[in-house]
A and B are shown apart, each in its own frame.
Chain A
């Protein structure tokens, strides 16, 4: 069953802690993306990767970090430097210039 998975679905962390969100895909897509969604707003691009071992900053990369060591995996770390980390985080993958397939998302709440 092909698709893109994210875990966990809900995540609670204390202020000042780093947290890593998982994203895995078995669609054999080269490109992967991380978005942040806040209530009443569209999706904003955090980081994207077009190929293994390479990634670029999106529009709101400050306070976040990523890695792309495997084609299937693109984890996102929300660091303590992110001023307002509580949000819905969505991972997506695509062939280059194609439609994006989204995972179910991780809802992060920082207490």
Chain B
């Protein structure tokens, strides 16, 4: 079946270091969404990318959607302790936008 793989599963960084998580789909996606889930919390929407090769920035966060619409990445510049949490990508399937979630990357930031 259709799968979305995400790496790494876990990343531990020192505050101020950069962080990147990668997302790969076995099939072409209609769009990709990114969510952040704080420990003990629920996923919160960050961004949606729709176009091939699209790049979007939100302050220290940079999101990319691959040319083939099968992969995506999230890069955080100069991490802060507030960035702690699990980052999920979610690939959209068709017009209904059923999402396939990746396994997530847990980010730990040491002050």
Contact = CB atoms under 8 A, between A and B. Distances in A.
Interface string B22-62: 00000000110100000001111100100000000000000
Given A96-B95, A97-B96, A42 B42 contact: no
Contact of B43 (A43, A45, A97, A98): A43
B1 A59 contact: yes
Contacts of A103: 42
How many chain B residues sit at the interface, stated as a range, is 20 to 34
A100 B103 contact: no
Contact of A101 (B45, B88, B95): B45
A50 interface: yes
A97 B42 contact: no
Nearest to B88: A42
Interface in B78-93: 88, 90, 92
Nearest to B50: A97
A50 B96 contact: yes
B42 A45 contact: no
Given A42-B104, A59-B1, A100 B99 contact: yes
B65 interface: no
Contact of B33 (A40, A42, A59, A99): A99
B9 interface: yes
A97 B103 contact: no
Given A98-B48, A105-B42, 19 more contacts: A31-B97, A35-B101, A40-B103, A42-B6, A42-B101, A42-B103, A43-B43, A43-B88, A43-B99, A43-B101, A45-B98, A45-B100, A90-B43, A96-B95, A97-B96, A98-B97, A100-B99, A102-B44, A104-B42
27 contacts: A31-B96, A31-B97, A35-B101, A40-B103, A42-B4, A42-B6, A42-B102, A42-B103, A42-B104, A43-B88, A43-B99, A45-B99, A50-B96, A59-B1, A90-B42, A94-B97, A96-B96, A97-B31, A97-B92, A97-B95, A97-B96, A97-B97, A99-B33, A99-B45, A100-B45, A102-B42, A104-B41
